[in-house]
Structure 1
């Protein structure tokens, strides 16, 4: 067992889970997955297969099969369900309704290997993160190798509680667990789409941020109190807009950001540089093709202002409060 404590998951649970694990070969790299139904549904992390042109599934007994169909995707929670070519090629792994582990509890992450025995890593739960009504996840104490993404995670009883996910938040690598309760709805359908369906999330995951890098001179003439109030308003807008976007209401997120920018332009009369930056952000939206691009253009505008305000306040001894940091973004 890698990175383990003196505890180990029940041997019976490992024996039961191992035949259901699948090593995914995705365009020259590997990821983990597991069979979740007798109909051949294969669960993994969406980012691990996004944009894939060729996927081969290697079962624990060495049987190898090409995956050519996608059964379901959940971009918000980084989950993908592929469909194996044969329904009985590997036994399904039972996903019970079980309580999530809590802070300090030990979990066991199974990584599919080229062979019958998986790699098992034990970690503790650092925190249970509630990002809104759309997602609750577990943050682990240590990072995960990318190849572990998509593998099942067991609790101390040996029950499957989630899917391992190697993620980034604010430029920092994280180990996360996406609870199994989000998988069940993806297994209900009988449809199947071609692998080209995975191209859309790849394009979104590869989005290039265009956060402006403003000089400190942008804020000349503004008071610390005014800038702190501006940073608070921007942070509140992001905290409100990000969950709306993640629920799929992209246009609603854009309209919220747009109204925030317009309101702040009218209110920040003593900060002409910030007003100019907000106007430029709105002007950039005019030439963009859809609400998704516009929402990100304004998010970039807000993040650029938060960055320069944070730097400005750090060098001003009169600062009376801390600038609120932008919210974490856990999933790729």
Structure 2
């Protein structure tokens, strides 16, 4: 069992104990601490609170009550004789339960306030479930247009902005804002062209002669697009697979935010991978609306969804732009 699983099993025990009133005062305080610090603990507490509410309603309506059995004469007499007996021990036990009961009410009140102020997502939401939903959404063959921003760590005032059209995986068209060139791939060939200029087509631009390769405008962008470890977000499903292999994930939803926010942190330092990757996904569709990668050299690359409108059928073919 992983440390994370063990931790949440212990937290679940505290949550269950809170609702069946079996926790000590110290355990109630420990639960209150977890509720304050951990969003996932709050989500688990909220789920259990809803379940307890349903069980309470069922019990109140009689659905959980056992069938009533008639008392025998002896049992009836015994119940009558003992109805008003209160032993000193029971009085002491009642007094001992008062502080724990008060603490329990404090924890419950704290939890309700936290659940309200932190605007929790529906129960059952976790970083893993959000990532899985995003993966399924990314596998749909849809046309999507993104705005890509590349920030230079040496000069924060100089940044590149590009428009990126994507159709499924490995099919894309990249256009800088100044319109100085267009490059893309139909999934098998890469191509680059300038306005009113020729079209260069290759199935492996890295194998081109250096003199020709240097004529490709901003070929660094094309390098991003063809690198298996470069999450420029040309393929969201590939980016998510990279996260699953190399990153620890956490759900860091901001209060009142309409999107799920995942932060992925690299498990071990690697020069060819970003230190952190952040994703913002639609809670209904799972579509990633924004993603940002942060690199060891302080550079960052951001991608934001602009639209999901169908592109021209031949938009990804170089013949359309010749």
TM-score where L is the length of structure 1? 0.21
Bigger strand fraction: 1
Bigger helix fraction: 2
Larger radius of gyration: 2
